[in-house]
Structure 1
């Protein structure tokens, strides 16, 4: 797994390649996601910044702009929840897929070698070279089923 310095180094490299100005705000948002143990909404990221970096004075609009940029350059990914918006995670984790509860928004990460093998087999059968993939299974978690 990557270290925080490597992640920030990657951000600095991308910003330089694009000829953009490096901003501490993007670094702070990326660091929050890199160190998060769960998928976070923009509002949750904003609230964490207010607690962990009260000196930064970052507004919610800046958080949204940073998230948009970080997703555009593939440092983070998001899962859309229709009208409920998006939840974000760092792209520096090992590959995994998602189970998503459509009632409470809970996200469970999982990795299954058999599913990965089947995907490779299907791609090969169809003469398709996969560069990446994302699997999201939607349903209702056990907590919501029992309530």
Structure 2
């Protein structure tokens, strides 16, 4: 596990302790799946991956949804909403990036653009606004769906 991944697991343990909650292996398993994912995953995809990689854990789909809700609430993961297709999740342990999202096939392309980041800071400064976080999602059609 990379250093960022270990930090995310440590952060989960700290948050659970601060909230006076019981640390559960199920939350850790769901978080680990997202930490190692190379794509944005739906709850069902996470559940199927758990069945393959952690069959002895016996985690049900409802537990996956509860774990995802908790992990998103404490800002360890984020989601992108896809209308009828529901949400797709990713870990927050990655470096900041924005998304291009195909409205036809659901393909997601992550990108970083320093000029966009600078422009956002300039706009915020001009309006005497302090950005604490942001998420940019651009919707359209990928080259395969055009």
Q: What TM bracket, shorter-length normalisation? A: over 0.9
Q: Which residue of 2 aligns with 1:110?
A: 111
Deviations 1:29-60 (A, max 9, x none): 00000000110000000000001111110000
**CA RMSD, aligned part only?**
0.9
Q: CA deviation at 1:83?
A: 1.9
Q: TM-score normalized by structure 2? A: 0.97
Deviations 1:99-129 (A, max 9, x none): 0000111100000000000000000111111
CA distance in 1, matches of 2:124, 2:5: 34
CA distance in 1, matches of 2:5, 2:39: 17
Unpaired runs of at least 5, structure 2: none
CA distance in 2, matches of 1:111, 1:3: 19
Query: Segments of 4+ in structure 1 off by > 4 A?
Result: none
Q: Which residue of 2 aligns with 1:46?
A: 47
Unpaired runs of at least 5, structure 1: none
CA distance in 1, matches of 2:94, 2:6: 15
CA distance in 1, matches of 2:46, 2:92: 16
- How many residues align? The count is 145
The 3-state SS of whatever aligns with 1:37 is coil
CA distance in 1, matches of 2:3, 2:107: 25
CA distance in 1, matches of 2:5, 2:99: 24
